[in-house]
């Protein structure tokens, strides 16, 4: 979709850490079947929206950096994408029926990427 008027957005796929911890306790066979179903739906969604997706990756271990130092940290971000759309509204609306939202208490955040302006 690359056009001079398009904007870029970072899309964060979130699942509460407690939900992820509970998911790991489910019988592995049942979990595998549900994961395969979700991945097939995710793949179909991605194919339908390929023109807007520039990159998608999984989040890894997180380190929290504060004035007090550096420590291990867990957040709810499991994946992120960089997407391109004409507007923030268009980008967000594209994710309304995303398969990720089938996961209990999950959410998707869409944030515009803007130039730093002089930094």
Burial call 48-76: b when 16+ CB within 10 Å, e when fewer:
ebeebbeeeeeeeeeeeeeeeeeeeeeeb
Residues near 86 by beta carbon (within 8 Å), at least 6 away in sequence: 3, 5, 6, 7
Summarize pLDDT for 43-99 with one digit per residue, the tens. 999 999 999 999 999 999 999 999 999 999 999 999 999 999 999 999 999 999 999
Asked if the model's pLDDT at residue 4 lies above 90, the reply is no
> What are the boundaries of each domain within the chain?
7-113
Give CA–CA dist 99/45, Å, rounded: 8
Secondary-structure class of domain 7-113 per CATH: alpha beta
């Amino acid at each position: 979709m690359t056009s001079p008027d398009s904007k870029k957005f970072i899309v964060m796929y979130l699942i509460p850490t407690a939900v992820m911890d509970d998911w790991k306790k489910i019988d592995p066979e049942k979990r595998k079947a549900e994961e395969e179903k979700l991945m097939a739906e995710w793949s179909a969604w991605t194919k339908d929206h390929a023109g807007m997706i520039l990159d998608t990756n999984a989040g890894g271990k997180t380190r929290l950096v504060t004035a007090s130092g550096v420590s291990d940290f867990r957040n709810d971000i499991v994946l992120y994408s960089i997407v391109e759309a004409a507007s923030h509204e268009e980008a967000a609306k594209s994710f309304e029926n995303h398969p990720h939202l089938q996961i209990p208490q999950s959410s998707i955040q869409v944030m515009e990427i803007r130039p730093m302006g002089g930094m």
